[in-house]
Amino acid sequence: MHNTITQDEAAKRGEDYLRQAIMALPPQARPEPFGPITFDPCDDPTDRGPRGRVEVSHRYKINGLPPAENSRHIDLVKQWWESHGWRVLSDDRRTNGRHLWVENTADSFHMSITSNPGNELYIGVTSPCVWPKGTPEPTGTALPEPASSGDQPAVAQPPQPKPVARRRRPTHDEDEEDLSLRETWKKRPRRQQ
């Protein structure tokens, strides 16, 4: 187990990435936080890592732009991402015109920009799995106290890892408006080893 940035550092970095990507949009874009910053457990991590870590997510609704030009707005953000170390993981715009999902090649943060069926534009970010305080939490594997002086102490059994469930990509007919950014990215494809 290795140290990571803290969840607060992940929240700040994610916010910085959001601000940078939003700057690629026309100046009349007015970002509005869409829900709070979330700290969700990494109970099903794609990297098969240990429990106790969190993913930090944040999302903005973009107001002030003509909805009829959402495709162009998504292209502007895509161009910025590609010129700043992000790689496209999924671009569903050719089939339904609504969703682009990218990964930062340096630190594995993910971002997406989505135009929902109501032509509202959203942009969001999710961190990789991080330790809340930046370091692994103690596992608590100390031996239990014997029940009485005549009993032999029990041997602590290491916790058995849960199998990692496969994640699926969102389908084209799912309503992105009803899925939180965390749920959208939770269903992302596994990284190739």
| Cα separation values, 57 from 2, 8, 111, 136, Å | 21, 11, 9, 20
In the prediction, which pLDDT does 153 show?
Answer: 43
Q: Among 167, 59, 56, which residue's Cα sits nearest to residue 116?
A: 59
Mean pLDDT across the stretch 159-168? 39
Task: Assess whether pLDDT exceeds 80 at residue 36.
Answer: yes
Which pLDDT value is given to residue 44? 65
The mean pLDDT value for 114-124 works out to 93
- Mean pLDDT is lowest, of 13-27, 91-105, 132-146, 153-167, for 153-167
CA distance 165 to 180: 20
pTM above threshold 0.75: no
Q: Residue type for 134, please? A: G
Closest CA to 158 of 50, 40, 34: 50
Report pLDDT for 53.
93
Residue 140 lies in a domain: no
Are 130 and 4 a contacting pair, CB within 8 Å? yes
**Position 136 pLDDT exceeds 80:** yes
Who has greater pLDDT, 158 or 27?
27
Domain count, the chain: 1
Tell me whether residue 145 is in a domain: no
Half-sphere exposure of 43 (CA within 13 A, CB side): 4
**Within 10 A of 111 (CB to CB), how many other CB atoms are there?**
24
94 assigned to some structural domain: yes
19 is written with which tokens? Answer: 């601000």
Q: Which domain does 101 fall in, by range?
A: 7-135+162-186
Query: Is 125 strand, coil or helix?
Result: strand
Q: Give Cβ neighbours of residue 149 (< 8 Å, ≥ 6 apart).
A: none
In a domain, 113, yes or no: yes
Of the spans 41-50, 96-105, 177-186, which averages the highest pLDDT?
96-105
Instruction: Work out the pLDDT band at 191, boundaries 50, 70, 90.
Output: very low
- Asked whether residue 17 is domain-assigned, the answer is yes
Q: Report which secondary-structure segment, H or E, holds 32.
A: strand 30-33
Q: What is the pLDDT of residue 139?
A: 63
Which H or E element spans position 80? helix 70-82
**Does a structural domain hold residue 172?**
yes
pLDDT tens profile 79-94? 999 999 999 999 987 7
- Per-residue pLDDT at 117: 86
157 lies in some domain: no
Residue 29 in any domain: the answer is: yes
* Cβ–Cβ under 8 Å, residues 146 and 20: no
Q: What is the mean pLDDT of residues 1-17?
A: 94
